[in-house]
Structure 1
Amino acid sequence: MKCIFDEFPHTVFIFRKVKDYYFLFSMSGLDKHAVPTKKDYVRMEYLLNKELCLLDAYRQRSVFKC
C-alpha cells in the first residue's frame, strides 16, 4: 500500500501487510530537509492501521509482547 503523509508531502511510503496489520516497508522521494524519525514511522503505522480497522492486530504484534 502506498501512502503520503502531510508532514512529508514529497515522500511516498510503502507499507506491507504482515499477518493482520501493516508495517512500513520502504519509502521513496525522501527530502533530505524533512527526514522522518522512528517516532514518525510508528505514528504512520498507527494511523494506517487505525484507518483500516486493524489497530487491535497492530497493538498485539510480537514487539509488544513480554
Structure 2
Amino acid sequence: MKILQWEYTRKYQVKCIFDEFPETVFLFRRVKDYYFLFSMNGLNKNAIPERKDYVRMEYLLNKELCTLDSYRNRSAFK
C-alpha cells in the first residue's frame, strides 16, 4: 500500500488517499504527537478496509510525517 496524495486540512487534521482504496478519502486527526484514523468518505462497497489496513495506513502516514516514533510509543502498544 502507498500514499497517493495527502494534504493538511483543518487544524490537527490530514486528508489522505491510498492506492488500494483510490475512491476513499481518509481523514486523520492528531492525537498527542501522532496521527490516528478518524473517518473516511466515499467507501466502495466492494473494497471495504479491514483493521489491518487501518493500521497500515496509520503507520504509513506517521512515517511520512516523521511522527512514527510517537505512534509506536503510544499507550496501545504498552
The alpha carbon displacement at 1:39 in A equals 0.2
**Identity between Structure 1 and Structure 2 (%):** 78
Taking structure 1 as the reference length, the TM-score comes to 0.97
The alpha carbon displacement at 1:54 in A equals 0.5
Distance 1:31 1:17 in 2: 26
Q: How does 1:8-47 map to 2 (within 5 A)?
A: 8-47=21-60
Distance 1:50 1:3 in 2: 13
- Over the residues paired in the alignment, what is the CA RMSD in angstroms? 0.3
Report the equivalent of 1:53: 66
Moved over 3 A (4+): none
The alpha carbon displacement at 1:30 in A equals 0.2
The alpha carbon displacement at 1:35 in A equals 0.3
Q: Which has the higher contact order (CA 8 A, sep 6+)?
A: 1
The alpha carbon displacement at 1:42 in A equals 0.1
What is the number of equivalent residue pairs in this alignment? 65
Higher helix share: 1
User: Does 2:77 match 1:64?
Assistant: yes
Residue aligned with 2:43, SS: coil
The alpha carbon displacement at 1:9 in A equals 0.4
